[in-house]
Structure 1
Amino acid sequence: MKKLILAALVFCGGTAIAQSTYGIKGGLNYGATGEYENFSQVAGDASSIEDGNNKTGYHLGIFGKLEFLGIFLQPELVYTNLNTEYNNFDYKIDKIDAPILVGMNLLGPLHIKAGPSFQYILNNELENSSFKISEVENEITLGYQLGAGINLGRLGFDLRYEGAFKENNAFGDAAADTNFRIDSRPSQWILGVSYNLK
């Protein structure tokens, strides 16, 4: 009986210490996708390689958070718009991000967090160009996010870096005689604002 009471007290105490919240989030992202590579029609070798220029995009989504003794788990579901500028066109990606972050509270309202981020590409297209592009090799990829933030009451602010582990190429439409590839991996900074609903 004593063990049962002790177990109940530990459970109740743990439940009281653990805190769960959820809310909405959004903000701006600034970055680019990977290299644009234009192949020679004759030799089949790369005739030119170009890095993309950073542009501003945005993101909107929801999050949950379970915190226990200063350590928290924060899964999210976020729609992200990512833009990259190359010399002759812009490359646009719309995707769903599902990061699962583990974090730790530091001094006062400050915290750090990092974890894997699953990405599902909804759409990739070229703008300001007559070129045609294929779908990316893999619609679902795995990347990572890491960053730091601050909580002020129900409001939260954080800055993260997002990257990817391996290439995920989209190719030019061979039928349209456009022989190129673009590495769709994101490399971007994410500035977010969140609001706790609970």
Structure 2
Amino acid sequence: MKKRCLLTTAIALILCGITNNAGAKGPIRFGIKAGIQSQSLHASKDEVLGVFSADKDFGYQFGFVARINFPMLYIQPELNYAKHRFTMDMEDGATTKVKVNNIELPILVGWKIAFVRLFAGPVFTLMNDTGNKLKNTSAAINTELAKSLVGYQLGGGVEFGRVNVDMRYGGQFKKPELTVVKGEQQARTYKTSMNQWQLNISYLF
């Protein structure tokens, strides 16, 4: 309940900012964004569970954007809901679909030259939730991904008036931990590497 109240409050504040600044061309602008992403998750093979690298699946994310403009630079904080999806295969043919839902706060610093933008910055994970969908086995498989609280993004994009299109690469400073429980076996925890590519479109009011 507290998480929902926090998210609702944050969205309400951003919507108020968008409403108050709609049509304004000042140094601070607000907008909305959405995009698709391809992510990969790599875990070491285990003698008991036989966990291999998870296959890439497409995810998506959407949220709100604020941009603070300076002569040559800008600061762009965002508030995004992101869904990451992976397909994890076991040695005995068991498969589980892993979904990771995050509330993320990127704070990007960018350089603008004409209509071209380059940017980079940290990404803070505010909330994290992991879900599983089992396939091809009768044994129970539960996974939980403790994603690093601080990651990073870097990339570039172009502007077409109020519309912005960008491509980003993201990763973590600290490797997230993946915990897997299969059947009645003891839980196993892995250090993993997780990265992603994003294609985004945003509209600034």
* Structure 1 length-normalised TM: 0.77
| 1:196 alignment partner in structure 2 | 204
Identity %: 25
Q: Over residues 79-120 of structure 1, what are the superposed CA-to-partner deviations in whole Å (9 max), with x where a residue is unaligned? A: 0000112222221100011010000012x2101000000113
| 2:17 alignment partner in structure 1 | none
| Counterpart check, 1:120 vs 2:126 | yes
Pick one of 131, 141, 150 that aligns with 2:140.
Answer: 131
Greater alpha carbon shift after TM alignment, 151-160 vs 86-95: 86-95
| 2:180 alignment partner in structure 1 | 172
Runs of 4+ in 1 over 6 A off after TM superposition: none
Q: Is the 8 A contact 2:165 2:202 kept in 1?
A: yes
C-alpha RMSD of matched pairs (Å) = 2.5
Greater alpha carbon shift after TM alignment, 116-125 vs 73-82: 116-125
- 1:176 alignment partner, SS class: coil
Shift of 1:127: 1.5
Q: Letter of the 1:58 partner, please give it.
A: Y
What does residue range 1-12 of structure 1 map to in structure 2 within 5 Å?
A: none
Q: Is the 8 A contact 2:141 2:183 kept in 1?
A: no
Q: Letter of the 1:56 partner, please give it.
A: F
Cα distance in 2 for residues equivalent to 1:95 and 1:187? 14
Pick one of 23, 34, 42 that aligns with 1:34.
Answer: 42
Q: Over residues 140-189 of structure 1, what are the superposed CA-to-partner deviations in whole Å (9 max), with x where a residue is unaligned? A: 61000000011111111000001001222132348832543455653100
Q: Letter of the 1:109 partner, please give it.
A: F
**Structure 1: 5+ residue stretches without partners:** 1-16, 41-46
- 1:65 alignment partner, SS class: strand
| 1:55 alignment partner in structure 2 | 57
- Greater Cα radius of gyration, structure 1 or 2: 1
- 2:30 alignment partner, SS class: strand
Cα distance in 2 for residues equivalent to 1:53 and 1:133? 17
Cα distance in 2 for residues equivalent to 1:36 and 1:61? 33
Number of residue pairs the alignment of both structures matches? 173
| 1:93 alignment partner in structure 2 | 100
